[in-house]
Amino acid sequence: MAARWMAGFASIAELPRSAIPREIGAGISVAAVAIPIGLAYAKLTGVPTEIGLYASIVPTAAYALFGPSSRYLIVGPDTATCLLLGTAVTQLGVIALDARAPVVAGLSLLVGIACLAAAMLRLGFIANLISRPVLVGYLAGVSLTLLVTQLPSVSRVDIHSPGLFRPFIELGWRAAEIHWPTLSLAAALLILLRLLKRYVPRIPGPAVAIVLAILLSEVLDLPSAGFATIGAIPSGLPSPRLPSFAGDPAQLALSVAGLLVVSFSSGILTARAFGQKIDADSNPNRELAGFGAADVAAGLFQGFAVTGADSRTAVAMASGGRSALVGLVAAATVALVVTLLTGPLAALPEAALGAILVSAAVDLFDGKAFRRLAKIDRHELAFALVATVGVIWIGVLQGVFIAVAMTLVHLLRLATRPLDSVMGLDPERGDLVTLSRNPSAEVPDRIVVYLFEASLIFLNAHYFLERAIQVLRSRPDAKWLVLDTSAMMNADTGAVDAMEDLKHRLDAEGVGLLLGGGHGHFREILERSGLAELIGRDRIFDTPAQALAAAEAMRDQLRSN
């Protein structure tokens, strides 16, 4: 029972005693990163600073105990999720800082319930609703949006212009209002964060930046020099509290759906990426349950929605952590800081949080992924760029659904217009190859070999019929059409109609039809629909090479007669 419902206990029970100190050390290292990131992401979400710390306590422990398939994953606040969460609360009409926290908790609770329901219904496939290229573009848009939102933090200029470029233009016009010491501190800390990440990645850069900024604030009395600080943070652990719900129910449901898709997509990608490094698999439905438990805990204990945290997971793995004990120790360490050590945090300059968020924005923008898309598939690059523009110009929340819609459009494009090829014979090996990639291949006399590179279903049946006729008309002398159906594993009524129509047209033109290849359900449909009888069982073969050989034999026999 414990192994099924509380997998974290099972992973701890399996630990040898010699590994426990390593797991504890990894948990403390994770907490060192989680604390500054929690503070920064609370600011990003638009809630009191302590809420970011609360989001790293009970939710982290809940995920560690309930249902994770990837025991190495650490959950916590995430850039895209927090920015989306803050945007959603604003669109629900909640602006005041003290009123936002209960609504943020309410949204998180609903997201957690939605995750649990999705896990029970085995809807883990929703992680694929945003394709990788579109997710790259979406996160790039979030990155650029996040950069803009941090201009007030690093300059102390209240920016009012919307969009991507106008805020920078406004800041330029109001350069006289910039608090240059704040901007200098933010820039210095940002440089430090980037250098540590590049050259000493094992050192938790955010923790170093926070400690250094607090020391500077205390020693140089930065508040008296005009620096804004985060102020006093209430000490003590978060207590259970019922959240509140506000705004239009339809808008609320839209926000929950967007948060579910983005947080789960981001989390499962993080789980898979780190799992590959240690040859470990992750189960999407189990991850849904784990994220659901974490978000329900966040909603009930004054936190906000969390997901797989790449920076904290990286620290855990680099420290040798491989069990739920890492998450439990990290949560306990953050709880200890919230209980006993909130005093020094009051002197923390907001510029430090701005630098951490700007550094997170830089990490979100994956330039290598864009270059890879440009090299592999320009269509996917276009999807990524449109997703980026959608987030920037339409909004973070709306950008989620633009990203999902673009993924579905991309899938429909692939399904309705799959690749196809005319085949020829390799002059050296005698194998069937595509003419487009092998222009020296020999074209069989009076025979067209046509490959349709997908299962035949209603979405592409009409396209298949059109392309087969076009290919045949490009060879007026052809008397046999060999369909290479080796890629066809499924078929439906639309496929049967298209094949019947093709057979009748070929009969009218005196062209013979032969099939080679096909699998499983496609072959069953040939039998059940009567297509096998219509085409002729003697003209359906296991491989396209066999079908071509039969067509050549008929051609040669006709010539000899």
- Mean pLDDT throughout 213-242? 92
Q: Rounded to an integer, what distance in angstroms lies between the CA atom of residue 487 and that of residue 455?
A: 6
Q: Which spans in 200-230 are helix H?
A: 205-220
- Mean pLDDT throughout 463-471? 95
Sheet holding 420-425, edge to edge: 432-434, 420-425, 447-452, 480-484, 512-516, 540-541
Q: Rounded to an integer, what distance in angstroms lies between the CA atom of residue 525 and that of residue 494?
A: 11
Instruction: Determine whether 501 is exposed, middle or buried from the number of CB atoms within 10 Å of its CB (0-12, 13-18, 19+).
Output: middle
In this predicted model, what pLDDT tens digit does every residue of 418-440 receive, in sequence order?
Answer: 999 999 998 888 789 998 888 88
- The torsion of the CA quartet 493, 499, 505, 506, rounded to 10 degrees, works out to -170
Q: Residue 67: pLDDT above 80?
A: no
Q: Residue 23: pLDDT above 70?
A: yes
| Axis crossing angle, helix 396-416 with helix 378-393, rounded to the nearest 10 | 160
Look at residue 83 in the predicted model and tell me its pLDDT: 92
- Mean pLDDT throughout 289-293? 92
In this predicted model, what pLDDT tens digit does every residue of 324-333 receive, in sequence order?
Answer: 889 999 999 9
Is the Cβ–Cβ distance between 304 and 86 less than 8 Å?
no
In this predicted model, what pLDDT tens digit does every residue of 144-201 receive, in sequence order?
Answer: 999 999 999 999 999 888 888 889 999 999 999 999 999 999 999 999 999 998 998 8
Is the Cβ–Cβ distance between 136 and 366 less than 8 Å?
yes
What are the CA-CA distances from residue 289 to residues 66, 67, 116, 254, 284 (Å)?
7, 6, 5, 21, 9
Q: Residue 130: pLDDT above 90?
A: no
The correct answer on CATH 3.30.750.24 for the domain covering 420-560 is: yes
- Give residue for tokens 């066809």: 488
Is the Cβ–Cβ distance between 444 and 548 less than 8 Å?
yes
In this predicted model, what pLDDT tens digit does every residue of 239-262 receive, in sequence order?
Answer: 999 898 888 888 899 999 999 998
Q: Where are the beta strands (DSSP E) in 427-467?
A: 432-434, 447-452
In this predicted model, what pLDDT tens digit does every residue of 328-363 receive, in sequence order?
Answer: 999 999 999 999 988 889 999 999 999 999 999 998
Look at residue 188 in the predicted model and tell me its pLDDT: 96
Look at residue 546 in the predicted model and tell me its pLDDT: 94
Q: What pLDDT band is residue 68 in, cutting at 50, 70 and 90?
A: low
Q: Residue 2: pLDDT above 60?
A: no
Q: Residue 51: pLDDT above 50?
A: yes
Cross-strand bridge partners of residue 456: 491
Reported pTM: 0.80
Neighbours of 76 (CB within 10 A): 31
Q: Rounded to an integer, what distance in angstroms lies between the CA atom of residue 157 and that of residue 151?
A: 7
Look at residue 274 in the predicted model and tell me its pLDDT: 81
- Mean pLDDT throughout 73-83? 91
Q: Residue 24: pLDDT above 50?
A: yes
Domain boundaries for CATH 3.30.750.24 within the chain: 420-560
- Mean pLDDT throughout 93-107? 90
Is the Cβ–Cβ distance between 65 and 324 less than 8 Å?
yes
- Give residue for tokens 């200029």: 157
- Mean pLDDT throughout 35-63? 94
Look at residue 482 in the predicted model and tell me its pLDDT: 95
Residues 6+ apart with CB under 8 A from 123: 285, 288
Look at residue 1 in the predicted model and tell me its pLDDT: 47
Q: Residue 320: pLDDT above 70?
A: yes
In this predicted model, what pLDDT tens digit does every residue of 474-526 receive, in sequence order?
Answer: 999 999 999 999 999 999 999 999 999 999 999 999 999 999 998 888 999 99
Q: Residue 56: pLDDT above 90?
A: yes
Look at residue 70 in the predicted model and tell me its pLDDT: 65
Q: Which tokens in the block code for residue 434?
A: 């595509």
SS (H, E, C) 271-317: HHHHHHHCCCCCCHHHHHHHHHHHHHHHHHCCCCCCEECHHHHHHHH
Residue 85's identity, in one-letter code, is L
